[in-house]
Amino acid sequence: MSEAGTRGQTLLAARRVVVKVGSSSVSGDNAGQIPVLVDSLARLRAAGAEVILVSSGAIATGVPFLNIDARPDDLATQQAAAAVGQNILVNRYQRALSSHDLVAGQVLLTAHDMENPTHRGNARRALERLLALGTVPIINENDTVATHEIRFGDNDRLAALVARLVEADQLVLLSDIDALYTAPPEVVGAERIASVPYGDPLDGVRIGESQSGWGTGGAATKVQAARLAADAGTTVLLTEARLLAAVLDGADHGTLFGAASR
- On whether residue 157 sits in a domain, the answer given is yes
Estimate to the nearest angstrom the gap between the alpha carbon of 86 and the chain centroid.
16
Domain hosting residue 252, numbered range = 3-257
Q: Which CATH number is 213's domain given?
A: 3.40.1160.10
Q: Is residue 100 part of a domain?
A: yes
pLDDT the model gives residue 212: 47
**Among candidates 148, 169, 177, which has minimal Cα distance to 242?**
177
Extract the annotated binding site for ATP.
20, 175-176
Q: Is 171 strand, coil or helix?
A: strand
Binding site for substrate: which residues?
56, 143, 155
In a domain, 209, yes or no: yes
Our count of domains for the chain comes to 1
**pLDDT tens-digit map of 118-135:** 999 999 999 999 999 999
Summarize pLDDT for 87-108 with one digit per residue, the tens.
999 999 999 999 999 999 999 9
Domain presence at residue 262: no
The per-residue pLDDT for 197 is: 95
Q: Select the more confidently predicted residue: 2 or 189.
A: 189
How confident is the model over 56-79, as pLDDT tens digits?
999 999 999 998 888 888 888 988
How far is residue 94's CA from residue 80's CA, in Å, rounded to a whole number? 22
Residues making up the annotated binding site are 20, 56, 143, 155, 175-176
